[in-house]
């Protein structure tokens, strides 16, 4: 027995010594884990307390610096606490005013900061906002409005406008694992969303003020040039590839691209940045080599790298600095910087340094789908590519043809790995799985790399010469091929499968196992593969709720015969579609009248009773404040009343009032146990008491 323990201890020590080159990368993982822990807390932590814990952990590391094993543990604790402190400090700096309640129609005045083109209108982001009859202290600094109109009103960035608008607070998550729009908008300084109404009055003409307004104005002008040249459908995709504004894609095309898992091609990501940088770099280097003075007496490679850095920076600014694009931009800048200083860059280390810089600047990026998908795919591809490079060196193949032949299967494998690694994340975030997405991406990959992205690079190169029309013609042909691939794939049977979201703990285990698989040195990392598979399969044991009531009671979903059905609301509205996808359905069918669902009246006179396992729930969709509904509830022997009328109280029946929903948000119920007791989950229970929550605090 002593010899067994000694051998185990020796093997463990040797394995830990092999991890020394990746200690910095594990520190970044621990820092990200601290940020994730912050966003998972039920209430906002104290900035002083998190700072004190971080300082104490640092002092412990300095005190125990001679004890290697204990120092490793303490360093992990320090990185986690530093992540919590960084996220707490970043949130404390925001000071964003969030709208407290819905405002049906108000006069809004603001300066246009961003314009996005929709299929039937445009979306405006307004800054320096003033709202009629609303105190300045309660007015959000920025808000976003959707304008629906057949004819687009010519607006420009920097204009100060006035219009009537309906406003509402950003929506929180309805189900656990659902997207938190309120958190997303909070860290972008947006405190309200809504819809604008014509007419629009121009209070002050356009005036460009600031660095980002200059680039936003240039982006809008490029988008208008593209829309004036190409067909509206293809112009929306071209605008997404060139300017990052893909809001104009029609719903049909969007669904086809999503079913083929080709939607990521439209979003500005690493592949776009790499192709743009590659085309610009090699074009500039060839031009510089053609000039004898520059080609012979100056380092043309370094000069081309410096000029490419400027071009890529301009492309990032013109596309709106998306999270995945920013990741690719930082990595490309590090690569070009290594060319300038004649040093070799380690890709995985550069990826982790990129993640650290982004998370220090904005810890909320960790919760963005673009950040998670981009880093997961890149990390997996670099891990596979690293092993391929090592094997290539071992083979000693030096001929160009041999290297190309050897690289092709590895490139295909790297693409497959990226698809497989991100599939569980896509299932959790978007509740979908593309059955033929891998094959569609293999077919569309050459079209994107050889035609679409070079055309985008050619567009920017020819723009100063006024020859961008020719580049748009090539881009239009490439987009046509891409849409054909998407359409054929989407028409295949079961092309897109909807699945519920895995539990949060399963997603955390998957992320840690993926990091272990990619960063750990040694065969032990293969143990992460069954863990990743098991955490993904937890989607099969997810139990959907039996009853969902939205915060405003406009949408009610009931479970009928094992299938969720819509009892109130429009089936093709945003909230019912999100709920349908979250429960593994494409759409929700309308709840029919039956013995289990009985209604009287219509519209604002409607009252319904739902019977589930011998328990009855009474739904009051009226605005009747008289309290007469309580007599009907007692007559129906209902155990719960869900009402849309303020001031209604039934003493002997549990009542879910509008005021309660303003405090706790959307309500979801499950029936558990042999006695079929109702288990409740609300938006406040999911979100917690956080600064970005639009829910009003409870009064005790």
Whether residue 273 is found in the same domain as residue 335: yes
Structure tokens at 612: 């589930």
Residue 172's domain is classified under what CATH number? Answer: 2.40.50
Cα–Cα separations (whole angstroms), residue 240 to 174, 260, 313:
30, 18, 17
| 517-556: pLDDT as tens digits | 988 888 888 889 999 999 999 988 888 899 999 998 889 9
pLDDT of 394 higher than 50? no
pLDDT band at 514 (very low <50, low <70, confident <90, very high): very high
Structure tokens at 693: 């929550």
Q: List the alpha helices (DSSP H) in 249-322.
A: 251-259, 270-289, 292-297, 300-318
Among the residue ranges 263-277, 350-364, 583-597, the one predicted with the least confidence is 263-277
Q: Is 311 domain-assigned?
A: yes
Confidence at residue 411, expressed as pLDDT on a 0 to 100 scale: 65
Whether residue 490 is found in the same domain as residue 573: no
More confident residue, 65 or 316: 316
Q: Average pLDDT in the 610-629 region? A: 85
Whether residue 445 is found in the same domain as residue 340: yes
| 224-247: pLDDT as tens digits | 888 888 888 888 888 888 887 777
Q: Is 696 domain-assigned?
A: no
| 84-116: pLDDT as tens digits | 999 999 999 988 998 888 888 899 999 999 888
Cβ-based neighbours of 439, under 8 Å, separated by 6 or more: 489
Q: Average pLDDT in the 558-578 region? A: 87
Q: Is 237 domain-assigned?
A: no
Identify the helix (H) or strand (E) that includes residue 334. Answer: helix 323-340
Whether residue 551 is found in the same domain as residue 656: yes
Identify any residues that bridge with 560 across adjacent strands, giving them in sequence order: 563
Q: Is 515 domain-assigned?
A: yes
Confidence at residue 626, expressed as pLDDT on a 0 to 100 scale: 76
pLDDT of 263 higher than 60? yes
Whether residue 565 is found in the same domain as residue 523: no
| 315-350: pLDDT as tens digits | 888 887 888 888 888 888 888 888 887 777 788 888
Q: Is 205 domain-assigned?
A: yes
Confidence at residue 623, expressed as pLDDT on a 0 to 100 scale: 83
Residues, the chain = 700
Q: Average pLDDT in the 674-700 region? A: 83
DSSP 58-104: HHHHHHTTT-HHHHHHHHHHHHHHHHHHHHHHHHHHH------S-EE
Q: Average pLDDT in the 588-611 region? A: 87
Whether residue 334 is found in the same domain as residue 455: yes
- Number of domains the chain is built from: 5
Q: Average pLDDT in the 647-653 region? A: 82
CA angle 134, 136, 139 (to 5 degrees): 65
Whether residue 672 is found in the same domain as residue 618: yes
Task: State the sign of the Cα–Cα–Cα–Cα dihedral 411, 416, 421, 422.
Answer: positive
pLDDT of 700 higher than 60? no
pLDDT of 36 higher than 90? yes
pLDDT of 363 higher than 90? yes
Among the residue ranges 2-11, 52-61, 232-241, the one predicted with the least confidence is 2-11
Q: Is 379 domain-assigned?
A: no
Q: Is 346 domain-assigned?
A: yes
Domain extent, residue 340, equals 243-362+435-496
Structure tokens at 145: 């409005």
Whether residue 298 is found in the same domain as residue 346: yes
Whether residue 448 is found in the same domain as residue 509: no
Whether residue 347 is found in the same domain as residue 277: yes
Q: Is 487 domain-assigned?
A: yes
pLDDT of 168 higher than 60? yes
Strands (E), 550-590: 556-560, 563-568, 589-590
Structure tokens at 630: 């309580």
206 burial type by CB count under 10 A (0-12 exposed, 13-18 middle, 19+ buried)? middle
Confidence at residue 304, expressed as pLDDT on a 0 to 100 scale: 85
CA-based nearest residue to 654, from 643, 665, 640: 640
More confident residue, 168 or 152: 168
> Mean of the per-residue pLDDT values for the chain?
85
More confident residue, 372 or 247: 372
| 192-219: pLDDT as tens digits | 999 988 888 889 888 887 788 888 888 8
Confidence at residue 666, expressed as pLDDT on a 0 to 100 scale: 92
Whether residue 171 is found in the same domain as residue 76: no
Q: What percent of the chain has pLDDT over 70?
A: 92
pLDDT band at 389 (very low <50, low <70, confident <90, very high): low
Whether residue 527 is found in the same domain as residue 557: no
């Amino acid at each position: 027995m002593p010899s067994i323990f000694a051998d185990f201890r020796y093997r463990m020590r040797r394995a830990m010594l092999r991890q020394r080159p990746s200690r910095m990368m594990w520190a970044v993982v621990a820092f990200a884990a601290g940020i994730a822990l912050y966003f998972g807390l039920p209430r906002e932590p104290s900035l002083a307390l998190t700072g004190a814990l971080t300082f104490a952990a640092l002092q412990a590391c300095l005190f125990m610096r001679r004890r290697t094993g204990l120092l490793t543990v303490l360093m992990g604790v320090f990185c986690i606490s530093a992540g919590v402190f960084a996220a707490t400090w970043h949130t404390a700096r925001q000071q964003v005013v969030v709208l407290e309640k819905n405002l049906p129609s108000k006069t809004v005045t603001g300066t246009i900061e961003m314009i996005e083109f929709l299929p039937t209108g445009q979306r405006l982001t307004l800054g320096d906002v003033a709202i009629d009859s609303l105190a300045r202290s309660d007015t959000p600094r920025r808000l976003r409005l959707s304008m629906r109109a057949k004819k687009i009103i010519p607006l420009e960035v920097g204009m100060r406008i006035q219009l009537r608008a309906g406003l509402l607070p950003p929506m929180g998550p309805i189900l656990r694992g659902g997207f938190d729009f309120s958190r997303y908008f909070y860290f972008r300084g947006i405190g309200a969303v809504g819809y604008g109404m014509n007419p629009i009055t121009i209070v002050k003409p356009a005036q460009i003020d600031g660095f980002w307004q200059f680039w936003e104005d240039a982006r809008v002008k490029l988008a208008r040039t593209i829309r004036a040249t190409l067909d509206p459908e293809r112009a929306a995709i071209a605008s997404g590839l060139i300017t990052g504004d893909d809001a104009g894609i029609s719903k049909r095309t969007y669904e086809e691209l999503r079913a083929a898992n080709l939607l990521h091609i439209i979003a500005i990501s690493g592949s776009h940045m790499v192709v743009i940088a590659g085309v610009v770099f090699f074009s500039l280097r060839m031009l510089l080599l053609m000039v004898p003075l520059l080609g012979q007496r100056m380092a043309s490679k370094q000069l081309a790298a410096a000029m490419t850095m400027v071009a890529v920076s301009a492309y990032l600014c013109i596309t709106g600095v998306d999270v995945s694009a920013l990741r690719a931009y930082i990595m490309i800048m590090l690569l070009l910087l290594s060319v300038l200083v004649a040093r070799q860059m380690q890709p995985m280390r550069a990826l982790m340094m990129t993640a650290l810089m982004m998370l220090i600047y904005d810890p909320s990026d960790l919760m963005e789908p673009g950040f998670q998908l981009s880093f997961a795919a890149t990390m997996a591809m670099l891990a596979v590519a690293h092993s391929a490079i090592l094997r290539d060196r071992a083979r000693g193949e030096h001929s160009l043809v041999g290297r190309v032949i050897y690289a092709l299967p590895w490139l295909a494998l790297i693409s497959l790995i990226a698809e497989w690694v991100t599939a569980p994340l896509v299932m959790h975030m978007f509740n979908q799985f593309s059955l033929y997405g891998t094959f569609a991406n293999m077919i569309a990959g050459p079209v994107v790399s050889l035609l679409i992205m070079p055309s985008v690079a050619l567009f920017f190169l020819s723009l100063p010469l006024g020859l961008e029309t020719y580049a748009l013609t090539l881009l239009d042909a490439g987009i046509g091929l891409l849409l054909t691939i998407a359409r054929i794939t989407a028409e295949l049977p079961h092309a897109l499968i909807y699945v519920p979201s895995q539990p949060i703990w399963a997603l955390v285990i998957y992320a840690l196992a993926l990091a272990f698989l990619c960063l750990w040195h040694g065969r032990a990392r293969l143990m992460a593969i069954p863990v990743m598979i098991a955490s993904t399969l937890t989607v099969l044991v997810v139990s959907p709720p039996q009853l969902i009531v939205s915060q405003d009671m406009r949408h009610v979903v009931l479970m009928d015969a094992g299938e969720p059905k819509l009892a109130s609301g429009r089936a093709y509205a945003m909230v019912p579609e999100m709920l349908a996808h979250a429960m593994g359905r494409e759409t929700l069918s309308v709840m029919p009248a039956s013995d289990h669902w009985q209604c009287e009246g219509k519209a604002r006179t409607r009252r319904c009773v739902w019977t589930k396992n011998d328990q009855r729930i009474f739904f009051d969709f009226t605005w009747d404040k008289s309290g007469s509904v309580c007599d009907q509830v007692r007559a129906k022997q209902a155990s719960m009343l869900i009402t849309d009328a303020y001031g209604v109280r039934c003493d002997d029946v549990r009542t879910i009032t509008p005021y309660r929903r303003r405090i706790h948000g959307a309500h979801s119920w499950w029936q558990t146990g042999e006695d079929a007791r109702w288990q409740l989950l609300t938006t406040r229970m999911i979100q917690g008491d956080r600064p970005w929550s639009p829910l009003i605090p409870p009064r005790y």
